């Protein structure tokens, strides 16, 4: 098994060889929110690159059929139903509705991985389910979305947990690139207190400062879901792995 981890999308862009699978981490954003939306019964989850795409979807499909979620340049949007709050997602009643999540980084990662057949989203909530799904695959790429050239340490720790699960019965680290080794080390350093680690991070402190501790607790839940978001064959939306449809 070969595992290549990329700490930013730009690193992934610079590496042209496609893998059998790509696992995307964005625990404070897309991967946790989309996992939660599908867990709560959303029909499908559509990543969108700008607010206009979401507004157009709602105009076409009808307001009652679409939930718009996310921020733009860090600010909430008055046309959207929800910020990136997994704890409040159930209240918005996503069951049997389309869930559109604003993430230019996710749409870009999908675009630059056009030759990778299987793309999954992973977070602490579904980490074991994702590991079981991809176990035994020969070549796996992992990308931590981050922001431009800025690495997300929290995503790297979660990626390290996935690597640790995949290699738990393997005594060596052959097949890992340097970033994969680093991610695993970071996870091993923080594995006994994931919530505490997230709480002390910059993003965690931002959530605490605006009374969103419940979101932080939700993000830190380990193996609370068996839902694995997988990109559909038409590459426009995510559904639950095993139930893919156009």
CATH class of 2-233: alpha beta
- To the nearest 10°, the Cα dihedral for 104, 76, 86, 217? 110
Helix (H) or strand (E) holding 200: helix 194-200
Alpha-carbon gap, residue 31 to 125, rounded angstroms: 9
Annotated domain spans of the chain: 2-233
User: Cα separation of 37 and 65, whole Å?
Assistant: 14
DSSP single-letter state for residue 8: S
Rounded alpha-carbon distances, angstroms, from residue 223 to 41, 60, 130, 155: 18, 36, 10, 16
pLDDT tens track for 146-164? 776 789 999 999 999 999 9
Segment 170-187, tens digit of pLDDT? 767 889 999 999 999 999
Query: Residue 89's closest CA among 32, 158, 27, 146?
Result: 32
Mean pLDDT value of segment 199-226: 95
Q: How far apart are CA 134 and CA 19, in angstroms?
A: 12
pLDDT for residue 1: 86
Per-residue pLDDT band at 76 (split at 50, 70, 90): confident
Q: Is the pLDDT of residue 242 over 70?
A: no
The share of the chain scoring above pLDDT 90, in percent, equals: 78
Give the per-residue pLDDT at 246: 31
């Amino acid at each position: 098994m070969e595992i290549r981890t990329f700490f930013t999308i730009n690193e992934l862009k610079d590496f042209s060889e496609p893998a059998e699978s790509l696992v995307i981490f964005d625990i404070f954003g897309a991967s946790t929110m989309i996992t939660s939306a599908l867990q709560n019964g959303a029909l499908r989850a559509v990543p969108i690159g700008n607010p206009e795409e979401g507004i157009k979807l709602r105009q076409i499909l009808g307001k009652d059929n679409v939930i718009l979620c996310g921020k733009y340049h860090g600010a909430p949007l008055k046309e959207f139903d929800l910020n990136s709050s997994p704890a409040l997602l159930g209240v918005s009643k996503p069951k049997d509705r389309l869930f559109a999540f604003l993430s230019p980084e996710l749409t870009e990662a999908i675009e630059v991985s056009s030759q990778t057949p299987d793309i999954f989203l992973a977070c602490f909530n579904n980490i074991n389910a994702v590991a079981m799904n991809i176990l035994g695959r020969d070549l796996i790429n992992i990308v931590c979305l981050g922001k431009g050239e800025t690495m997300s340490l929290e995503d790297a720790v979660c990626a390290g947990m996935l690597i640790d699960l995949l290699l738990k019965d393997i005594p060596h680290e052959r097949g890992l690139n340097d970033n994969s080794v680093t991610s695993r080390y970071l996870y091993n350093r923080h594995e006994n207190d994931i919530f505490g680690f997230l709480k002390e991070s910059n993003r965690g402190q931002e959530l605490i400062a605006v009374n969103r501790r419940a979101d932080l607790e939700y993000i830190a839940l380990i193996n609370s879901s068996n839902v694995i978001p997988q990109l559909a064959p038409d590459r426009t939306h995510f559904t639950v792995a095993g139930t893919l449809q156009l």
